[in-house]
Amino acid sequence: MIYLDVSAAVHRRAGLGRYAESLARALVAWAQTHPDEAPTFALFYNRGRGSRPLAGLEHLPARTVRAG
């Protein structure tokens, strides 16, 4: 299992957040179309006030740590 750090996307940080979200979505989409070749992906992010899973990726396993 490969964890993708989407902390910047979850906390809506401008450029880096968009990049992290786009990368996660692209890798997950690729994995769904190549199930025999792809690893399993999961999400990792810092849990803070207002943090929530990315829409459309809630089905992925996720690990969080308390920010701070």
In-domain check, residue 68: no
Local confidence band at 60 (pLDDT 50, 70, 90 cut-offs): very high
Q: State the residue range of the domain holding 44.
A: 2-49
How many domains does the chain contain in total?
A: 1
In-domain check, residue 14: yes
In-domain check, residue 61: no
Residue 40, pLDDT score: 92
Residue 49, pLDDT score: 76
In-domain check, residue 35: yes
* 2-49 per-position pLDDT tens digit: 999 999 888 877 888 899 999 999 999 999 999 899 899 999 998 877
The amino acid occupying position 44 is F
In-domain check, residue 45: yes
User: CA 2, CA 37: separation in Å to the nearest integer?
Assistant: 14
* pTM, two decimal places: 0.79
Question: What average pLDDT does range 57-61 have in this prediction?
Answer: 91
User: CA 30, CA 13: separation in Å to the nearest integer?
Assistant: 25
Residue pair 28/65 in contact (Cβ under 8 Å)? The answer is: no
In-domain check, residue 7: yes
Residue 68, pLDDT score: 64
